[in-house]
Amino acid sequence: MLRRVCCLVLALTVSCASKEGAQRPDESATSKSPPLTSEPNRLAIDMSKPMPPGLDEAAMDLTADPCGDFYQYACGGWMKTTEIPADKPLNSRGFVAISDRNELMLRAILDDAAAGKLPADAPFAKQLGDYYASCMDEPAHEKALPEVKAMVKKYGSPKNAKELATSLGALHAMAVHPLFDVSSMQDLKDSTAVIAGLDQSGLGLPDRDYYTNTDEKTKQVRDQYQAFVEEMFTLYGEKPFDAKKSAATIMAFETRLAQKQQTKVERRDPQKLYNRLDRAGLVKEAGAFAWDAYFAALGAKDLKAINVSSPTYLKEVAAVAKEGKAAQWKTYLTWVILRSSIPALPKRFQDASFAFSSKALTGAKADRPRWKKCVSYTDGDLGEALGREFVRRHFGADGKERTSAMVAQLQKSFEGNLEALKWMDPATREKALEKVRKMVGNNKIGYPEVWRDYSQVKTRRDSFLANSTAANQFEVKRQLAKIGKPVDRTEWLMSPPMVNAYYEPQKNEIVFPAGILQPPFFNREATDAVNFGSMGMVVGHEITHGFDDEGRQFDADGNLKDWWTEGVAKDFVARAACVKEQFDNYVALEDIKVKGDLTLGENVADLGGLKLAHKAMTEWYAKQAATTAGAYRYDPSQQFFLGFAQSWCTKVRPEMARLRAATDPHAPPYWRVVGPLGNLASFQTAFACKADAKMIRPNRCEVW
């Protein structure tokens, strides 16, 4: 599904150093900065004063030089004493800690729902209770394989191109996505219009590069994947010889698909993703595929307004259909249905899936307990029904009010910063001001004003697969029903308990779910400086996404439109190139460098967000009639940077670090702290760093 959404973090699968096998980034090979000075900075800190509320002294390493390695200074104690739980690929003081707390809250809600104990007026209590109870009923999963085989029998054996298209349409209607996927999207060049989007999909490994890269580690993952596919076909009931043959077929076929897919870096350019063909153009480009049969089976036979993210890939899909290899289609469709059904299958299937993902991708030592999986699945399929009760129980009005005040302060900071940018001319500056004012006016905090209606989701207690399918069908229908109608600007793309935030360029809006408005990102007991460093940076990060290398291509109304004068645009590109080069020189893990082009948007947003949030914090304190600035051992600027860094303390297993380096548009948390701080004069001043200190970059990057 094509989404131009810029998130603070991607699915909690961020990467960083871990003492459990992963190397700390090799600082000697990561920066062109000079070595640490022989006489490190010594802060004049009055240790008799109390720590500022919201900061954790135990998380720090006070023996470290903040001007040499600020991450170690802020997080060294936490890194030394914290372990990664066996069922996790990573641990973090921010995202994972909050997610763990939220998970327990959600479990309590779902336990009540399953037991019929939710309040009488709680919406969709039956759906929540049935879904969660069926997910937790592990003995029932042992009987689920016939349901999957029935689905394979119905959709998995097309004999010709028309039957293939019909099978794909029916499967896509259930959110099972062989070959490609379909959903609704705003027209990139007309943000008032909702059209259909066809996008590349269909792979079993995390990214097309896993099929095309030739390094030994990636080859090893491919071997492990093929062995996993073989095991799954064996568990499904094939004889060993046939299962081995099926696995070879899958690897060859998915490799063929991968070779025609866009890379993650290519997909960061929205211009490359906009190819509006409509129905007639679709037939002209890929007429070998039976589109009429496909859309009829999808339940959208009259659909005409269509964007194709990759016409080249779609032509490959048409070529597959034209070749008519029925045996290959059967094997591939069986595999996609099987792997999509793993959460509902008997334990032996889930154990095999975990063993592969653990060994090849995540490094987790134990599978997650069933209740954690079921909380996650429920949040994914019935997120606003679950989130509604979460908000009622756990989200206070003060969190929304204080975050709103921060957003307003950050807007003023951005506007003031624009006036000071010498490289921006008046015409482009005025357009930027218009965009940020509309963006802040469109902000969403906590939870939706209009909640989603799940009354059409029909659930039962005896089949988790049936409930999951029903929820998926509901969501596909909901998405397709939006096509041709006015854009729903009340819609959220994340559920309220989500520990994340995002900027949506086509709506030009910033969104902060209730789930992230908790310590350490937002702490009601913390000083304002600490909250500006943690949550204020999040706000500034999302605002800056509207002006990163992707976001800047959309205007104030969310249209893909060039609003920059030529000279200013060239200056922006040069400034962004500085950030790319900076992060290209950082080591993510062992022999793997950070991808400066893949992570550019997030790195620009981190740098701009920190600058804006610090400026906003300074202006905030200047307006206060009374201040406690001298009451604590750190001054407000120092609190700000410590609050920021401590929210990113993270450890990750080496397998996950490698996966994130390959696929994550975010840099590892270590570099998300150290990288931007080295560019900020405000950080150098706050900790009295000498000009040749290791943290301070001699050639600083500045975009916003």
The gap from C-alpha 64 to its chain's centroid, in whole angstroms, comes to 32
What CA–CA distances, in Å, run from 83 to 219, 365, 408, 588?
30, 12, 38, 20
Closest listed residue to residue 652, CA positions, set 74, 79, 57: 79
Catalytic residue chosen out of the listed positions 542, 548, 555, 602: 542
Q: State the DSSP code for 60.
A: -
Between CA 602 and CA 537 the distance in angstroms is: 12
The token duo for 453 is 């209606």
Between CA 340 and CA 354 the distance in angstroms is: 14
The gap from C-alpha 177 to its chain's centroid, in whole angstroms, comes to 20
Closest listed residue to residue 599, CA positions, set 585, 613, 615: 585
Q: Where are the alpha helices (DSSP H) in 173-269?
A: 209-212, 216-236, 240-259
46 a catalytic residue = no
| CA 474, 475, 476, 482 torsion-angle sign | positive
What CA–CA distances, in Å, run from 300 to 170, 201, 305, 549?
11, 20, 11, 35
The token duo for 671 is 């570099």
Beta bridge partners of 184: 196
Q: Is 475 strand, coil or helix?
A: helix
Residue with tokens 């001007």: 67
Q: State the DSSP code for 550.
A: T
Between CA 299 and CA 307 the distance in angstroms is: 18
Q: Tell the burial category of 81 from Cβ atoms under 10 Å away from its Cβ (0-12, 13-18, 19+).
A: exposed
Please say whether the beta carbons of 571 and 642 come within 8 A: no
> Can you say whether residue 116 is alpha, beta or left, with left for phi > 0 and alpha for psi between -120 and 50 degrees?
left
Catalytic residue chosen out of the listed positions 112, 381, 389, 606: 606
606 a catalytic residue = yes
What CA–CA distances, in Å, run from 579 to 84, 539, 583, 589, 600?
31, 20, 6, 20, 7
Closest listed residue to residue 365, CA positions, set 85, 82, 659, 83: 85
The residue type at 496: P
Instruction: Give φ, ψ of 32 to 5 degrees.
Output: -90, 5
Catalytically active residues are: 542, 606
